[in-house]
Structure 1
Amino acid sequence: MIFMNLLKTALFAALIGLSNLALAAININTASTTELETLNGVGAAKAKAIVEYREKHGPFKSVDQLAEVKGIGEKLVEKNRANLTTAAGK
């Protein structure tokens, strides 16, 4: 019985930890191509285009500006808006 309670507690703690990871926003000004590929609808080519745009034009001032990247449209931005940020910790 004690073992089962400990196991349940450990599993619950692990699930809470995983849910917190899923809630972490990706900073489009600092994210690597690998991090960007975790976004819905973003593969290797789009991730590379985001990084190249950022290198050429400087940091994104807003998440909406991401739609200016070739191959990234407003629909893709909206799909991912909750998981995106342009500033650390926001």
Structure 2
Amino acid sequence: MKRYFLGIVALLVSSFAFAVVNINTATQAELESLKGIGPEKAKAIIEYRTKNGAFKTVDDLDKVKGIGKATLDKLRPDISVGGAAAKPAPAAAKPADKKAPEPKKQ
């Protein structure tokens, strides 16, 4: 059982290594799979895109605190900004005041 679990984990981790990571939609774990990105930098990337919206280009990543030109140059082959863009979270919607329809009596 332990081998099975470790095999699954290894498979998941290796799939991150071969995939290009979309910095606009990536989770913290996906960002951490990038070489040179640890938990703090991953959090900083997520915080930046939450406050400022989607990255328009890969070069925009250098606006994130802790990521400079050297880090960006290492990451460039492994990241993209394509696909669905991250959007700031919408405000919670208010519940409707409508009553649920009553079941028909037979």
For normalisation by structure 2, the TM-score amounts to 0.62
Number of the residue aligned with 2:23: 28
Pick from 48, 56, 59 the counterpart of residue 61 of structure 1.
Answer: 56
Normalized per residue, the structure richer in helix is: 1
Q: TM-score, normalised by structure 1?
A: 0.72
1:80 matched to which residue of 2? Answer: 75
Structure 1 runs (4+) deviating above 2 angstroms are none
Aligned-residue offset at 1:29: 0.1
**What percentage of residue pairs aligned between the two structures are identical?**
51
Report the residue type matching 2:18 in the other structure. L
Pairing of 1:10-29 with structure 2 (within 5 A) = 21=15, 22-29=17-24
What are the ranges of 5 or more consecutive residues in structure 1 without an aligned counterpart?
A: 1-20
How many residues of Structure 1 are paired with residues of Structure 2 in the alignment? 71
Note the aligned Cα RMSD (angstroms): 1.9
